[in-house]
Structure formats: C-alpha cells, structure tokens
Amino acid sequence: MLVIMEKTLFFATIFAIVACQPTGETADGETGATWESKIYYDQEVHLNHVRQLTAGGDNAEAYFSFDGTMLTFQSNAEKWGNECDQIYAFNWDTDTIVENEPQLISNDLGRTTCAYFMPGDTTILYASTFAGDTACPAVPERGESGAYVWPIYSNFDIYVSNLSGNIVDTLISGPGYDAEATVSPDGSKIVFTSDRSGDLELYLCDIDGSNITQVTSGLGYDGGAFFSPDSKKLVFRSSRPQTEEEITKYKDLLANGLVEPTHMEIYTCNVDGTELTQVTSLGNANWAPFYHPSGEKIIFSTNHHSEKGYPFNLFMVNTDGTGLQQITYDGVFDAFPMFSPDGSKLVFASNRNNGGTRATNLFIVDWKE
C-alpha cells in the first residue's frame, strides 16, 4: 500500500493540481495536466458499470473485506473534519458516502495509513502515528533537487480496531517505522514494511503479530506488498539504488526519514523471500501492484509511458514480465487497484471526474476479462 499512507496519497496530490475551470476539459497552466469530466473512457474495455463512491478530498487505498461486501480506505476529506488521513469502512453496495460520512475506524489522532480487514471481517488493522504524537505530522518539503519525497514516520505502529472504531490490539510496535500491512487470503499471515533492520524491508508474521521474520534484504525501499490468491507469494514495489551516487542519496534521505519515490519497479517473491523476481523494467515509477485473481497477472499503477511524470494509469502484466497491457486512461492519476475476493469487482482511486480539483476519489467497477 505504497504508498501509501499520506505517502500513498502523495502521487495524487503531486499531479492533481487545481485547474482553471470546474467542468468540461481543463488544463493547469503550471503542469499542463488535463482533466475531463468523465468516469469512464472508451478504451477501458475491462471496466463495466463504473461507479464513483466518494466526492471530495483525497480518498485512496480502498481494500475489500474477506466476504467482499465492505471496503476500508483512508481519507483526509475536510467535510468529515479531517486534518490528517483517517481510516473508514463502509458497505460499498448499500452505503452512500458521497453525502454521508462513513464509519470512522481510526481514533482521529495522528496520521493513519494502510488499513486492511482481518479474518472474520469484524476488525481492521491499520498503521497510525498517534502513540508517538497525537498531532497531525507535517508533510515534508521537496528534496534538494526539487524531487518529491515520501516521509517515513518513525511513529507508525500497527493497530487493530473493531468496526465501531475502538482499538482492540496493538499488533506490531517498536522503535521506527512499521506500516503498510496486508493480510493473506487464507487469513494466516500478515506482511508489512519496517525499518527495524536499518533499511526498509518486508517482514512476515502470524495473524496475531507473532513470529516476525524478515523477507527481503536488498538495499532500497521494499513496500506496498500483497499476497497472491493462494497466499504463497508476494508482489511489491521496490526502489533499489544501483550506483554509488544513488546509494549515497538513498541512505542520506532515509537517515532523515525520507525516500524519493520516482524510480520503482514491481517484484515478486515467495513468502519466505526466495525466488525474488523483478517483473518490470519500465523505468519511472511502477507501484501499487495487486495480483489478478488468476495469480498469473499483476495489475499496477505506472507513469512509465508519461513524458512529464503524468499521467499515472493502471496497467496489467504477466508475472514473467510479458504481455503488458494498459487498463485505464485517465489524463492524470489512476492507482491503488484491488480485485474483490471473487474477482468480479475492481476498486481503484482516480483523479477522474473531479472538476479540475485536487480530489482523488474511489471508483468500483465490474471487471470484464
């Protein structure tokens, strides 16, 4: 859940600059980014019955419950009184949250990120900074070169809350960054990202937070991991510096609690870290991956095809890196895709149909092969 976090919403706010006009097709004078008042594009042949779920603010990282009836997501919508990203849950079929505030799951303190349903669908895990500081932490300025950076908040720990918004367990905690947790489809394991080794690596644990083991070990930011449908493999995005200059820059940024998410590729591995495979070599930022229900393809967000850093669109690729196919076509930002457990639905976040504002909204579609 790359991103995860306030980090995860960073790409959306990077490229969704306020436009000049509220309707029709508009362009921003600073970036040249173009918006259209559409929720669907003719080229999006895999998407049927597109439905917009939210309106206003930054809404992202929506993930299905095990039974497929609910979604949990993070939002900083001002209309719900948010200063920082907070976690919500709702029934995507019956609850109308365009006008009505959904159930708040987090405790409305600090900054939160990366929520995911636990087995049984009566509790939700998420990461929050509130134990270290109940205030909303500041968003960092751009790096020295003007590049965008993500904050690695050292106060992030992973909690479990019930559907009434009461914390029932501190699942994973300790010094440093623990966040980006997701649950295996078989309900037995959790994968998360931590800097407890001194670098940002993937870790695996039992569903109760015990038996934590390190999965990856290569220098660089490994994060946003999800399990394959059979719970045997992981897909994630990684920025792995290669040259001495890149390594020095990465280490210097990390020492200051920052990473620069401009160059990332998609990787897979077994849950024990073996058979590490780089799936994409596209350049630019390839992130927010999720397995297709077949387990043989990966859907992800990328700007590899973009000359100016935008748009980000959803693409799909075979797990061996072949068969790259574009799925969505918004002119600014599509990301955070997740298939429903039965494979019939796809939910994602997009800047489409936002009236030329910064708003990132949630959309759900019927998936068509």
- For the domain made up of 5-367, give the CATH fold: Neuraminidase (2.120.10)
Say if residues 223 and 2 touch (Cβ distance below 8 Å): yes
- 315 strand-pairing partners: 300, 326
Which tokens is 75 given? Answer: 């939002």
pLDDT at residue 15 tops 80: no
Burial, 333: exposed, middle or buried (Cβ in 10 Å; 0-12, 13-18, 19+)? buried
* Partners of residue 263 on adjacent β-strands: none
Q: Summarize the confidence of residues 200-207 as an average pLDDT.
A: 98
**Residue 243 DSSP class:** S
DSSP letters along 25-92, please? Answer: SEE-TTT--EE-S-S--TT-TTEEEEEE---SSBEEEEEE-TTSSEEEEEE--GGGT-SS-EEEEEET
Q: What is the mean pLDDT of the chain?
A: 90
Q: What is the pTM of this model?
A: 0.91
3-state class (DSSP) for residue 209: coil
Enumerate the domain spans of the chain: 5-367
Tell me the C-alpha distance between 84 and 101, whole Å: 16
pLDDT category of residue 232 using cuts at 50, 70 and 90:
very high
Q: State the sign of the Cα–Cα–Cα–Cα dihedral 206, 212, 218, 221.
A: positive
Q: Using alpha carbons, select from 161, 164, 208 the residue that is nearest to residue 189.
A: 208
- Whether 216 has a pLDDT exceeding 90, the answer reads yes
pLDDT in tens, 98-144: 989 999 999 999 999 999 999 999 999 999 999 999 999 988 877 66
Q: Is the pLDDT of residue 19 over 80?
A: no
Instruction: List the beta bridge partners of residue 277.
Output: 268
According to DSSP, residue 123 is labeled E
Q: What is the pLDDT of residue 358?
A: 85
Start-to-end Cα distance in the chain: 25
User: pLDDT of 255-312, one tens digit each?
Assistant: 999 999 889 999 999 999 999 999 999 999 999 999 999 999 999 999 999 988 889 9
Return the pLDDT at 23. 29
Query: What digits encode the pLDDT tens for the residues 132-189?
Result: 999 999 888 776 666 788 999 999 999 999 999 999 999 999 999 999 999 999 999 9
The 8-class DSSP code of residue 253 comes to: H
Distance CA 226, CA 295 (A): 12
- For residue 179, which of 167, 196, 163 has the smallest C-alpha distance? 196
